[in-house]
Amino acid sequence: MTLESSEQEFTSRFAAYAAQGTVYAGREGSPLLEFAAGGRVLYLFDRNGPYAASPGPAQVIVHGVLEPGGLQRLAEGAQPPEEKLAVLGISALEGQGRVLAVMRQVWVVQARLPLVLATWHEAPQVREGEWISFRTLAPLHGFVLS
């Protein structure tokens, strides 16, 4: 299984789930894109190439690969779930959110911002509308639309 056949294919497939935020000026020679969205600052491996993103308002697809066992369904309980998102290290995430879309081993999750999460490992069967918790590996990837 492959997660993408090209940057263009991945971008067109997930464009509807791009996060709205702000791209900051990049450091010369750094492959990381600094992107603020959902009240968090994320450092994303820039998949569009160096200097493709201009500083300012932007739409960016934020893509993370889940660590093994990094996706769990939230147990149904008395307390209603809420979106959570924490940055781990420089470029990994942990959080919980509602599943917006499911495509094979890829889930789009709303957790303060839309995230496209994928795995190479076994994961529980999750449907659209369910709530999950997740933990990604570093680095997160960023596909800039505008």
pLDDT (tens digit, 9 = 90+) per residue, 41-87?
999 999 887 667 889 999 999 999 999 999 999 987 757 799 999 99
- Reference 27, options 90, 121, 85, 95; nearest CA is 90
Q: Residue 119 CB: number of other CB atoms within 10 A?
A: 22
What share of the chain in percent tops pLDDT 90? Answer: 75
pTM here is 0.93
> How far, in whole angstroms, is CA 119 from its chain's centroid?
12
- Reference 123, options 78, 80, 77, 66; nearest CA is 66
pLDDT higher than 60, residue 1: no
- Reference 10, options 100, 143, 146; nearest CA is 143
DSSP states of 75-140 as a string? PP-SSPP--EEEEETTTEEEEEEEEEEEETTEEEEESSSEEEEE-SS------TT-EEEEEEPSPE
Nearest-angstrom CA–CA distance, 117 and 99: 10
Residue 115 neighbours by CB under 8 Å, 6+ apart: 19, 62, 63, 64, 93, 97, 108, 109
Q: Stretch 126-138: mean pLDDT, rounded?
A: 96
First to last CA, the chain: 29
pLDDT higher than 80, residue 2: no
Q: What digits encode the pLDDT tens for the residues 7-22?
A: 889 999 999 999 999 9
Tell me whether strands 114-118 and 106-110 are parallel, antiparallel or unpaired. antiparallel
